[in-house]
Structure 1
Amino acid sequence: MHICLTGRADAFPVCAPGSQKASIPARKGAIRYEFSNIPDGDYAVAAFHDANGNGILDKMVGMPREGFAFSQNPPLRPRAPTFKECSFTLKGHGALHLKMRYIL
């Protein structure tokens, strides 16, 4: 699993430099990861299940071949969601629940 947390619209969802990211083992069921020392602000999270371990979200004809998730669980569209569609405001501590989606 690769997880990216960013407070910049121009860094989402590709996890551009300056974003916080983590790679953790995937497993069936719920997975928990905690980012620490995050200042208050607006953020968005993107995650994907790197099933083949190549470090990228594989696609076929533009559609993800591996599982993916975004904060706010936006509806599926024929494009990646925007920062605005996925953003949330963090004040102090918080928790998000992301729903992994598998298309192909």
Structure 2
Amino acid sequence: MARNEAVKAFPREIEAVVTVCDGVAECACIGGPDEKTGELFSVFVVKEARSDVTEEQIVAYCRHESMAYKIPRKITFLEELPKSNVGKILRRELRG
């Protein structure tokens, strides 16, 4: 890969890794601007029942399973993800 070639990561890739982490029921990933790296990934996580998974555990798992540029920089825990009537995650509501 050439030095000036951009490295891409997609939210779906990050969600696939985080969802497999013990204690995570479901998650949604959104990208946002970052001055240093170009894009910052934020992950919204719903824990499994009685799970005590922490932000640090999720980041450690992602470090083990992913490339450094695919590690989420911000993790927010929610009781549930906003969804449409058909069950699709409403990412635009997570941006606000």
Q: Which has the higher contact order (CA 8 A, sep 6+)?
A: 1
Larger Rg: 2
- The structure where helix makes up a greater share of residues is 2
TM-score, with length taken from structure 1? 0.27
